[in-house]
Amino acid sequence: MENTGKIFGISLGPGDPELITLKALKALNAVDVIFCPGTKSGEGRMKSRALDILRQLEVDETKIRLFQVPMSRDRQEALCAYDRVCGEVLELVRSGLQLKGTPVFILLLIICTGSLRRPVFRLR
C-alpha cells in the first residue's frame, strides 16, 4: 500500500510571529492538519506558545489539533501522549493528508515511539 500523505516540520521561529519565514507561513496555510503541543496550567487550562503564534499568524484554527503533553519528572505520561498522537498522525498520513508539526515534535515522535521506527512514510 502506498502512502500519499506527507509530514512537514515547520519552525515557528524564535517566538516572535513577525520573524517566521514566508515559506513557513505558506506551508502552514497549505497543509491539512497542524499538530500543536500544549501543557495544562496550574488552573487546568491548556496553554501553548505555538498555538499563540499560530493565532497571531491568523492560521485557520480548524486545522489545528492541540494535544496535551503532561509535564512531570515521570516522563511515561508524556511518552504515552506522544504514542497517542503518533497513532493519529499515522492514520492521517495513510489517508493522504498533509500534516505539520514543529521539528521538535516530529523528532520526539520518531525517538519516543516504536510506531515511526518502521519505514511507513517519508519525513520532509
Give the mean pLDDT of 60-77: 86
Contact 39, 68 (CB under 8 A): yes
Give the residue, 60 or 42, on which the prediction is more confident: 60
Q: Residue 103: CB partners within 8 Å, gap ≥ 6?
A: 9, 10, 11
In DSSP terms, 6 is beta-bridged to 98
| Residue 80: pLDDT over 70 | yes
Phi, psi of 93 (to 5 degrees): -65, -40
Grid coordinates representing 44 are 487546568
Phi, psi of 66 (to 5 degrees): -80, 130
Strand 33-40 with 46-47, pairing? antiparallel
pTM, 2 dp = 0.72
- Burial environment of residue 69 by CB neighbours within 10 A (0 to 12, 13 to 18, 19 or more): middle
Phi, psi of 36 (to 5 degrees): -135, 115
Q: What is the pLDDT of residue 58?
A: 94
| Residue 62: pLDDT over 90 | yes
pLDDT confidence tier of residue 4, bands split at 50, 70 and 90: low
Give the residue, 89 or 44, on which the prediction is more confident: 44
Contact 27, 10 (CB under 8 A): yes
Give the mean pLDDT of 22-32: 88
Taking phi over 0 as left and psi of -120 to 50 as alpha, with beta for the rest, 42 belongs to alpha
- pLDDT tens per residue across span 81-99: 877 887 887 787 778 776 6
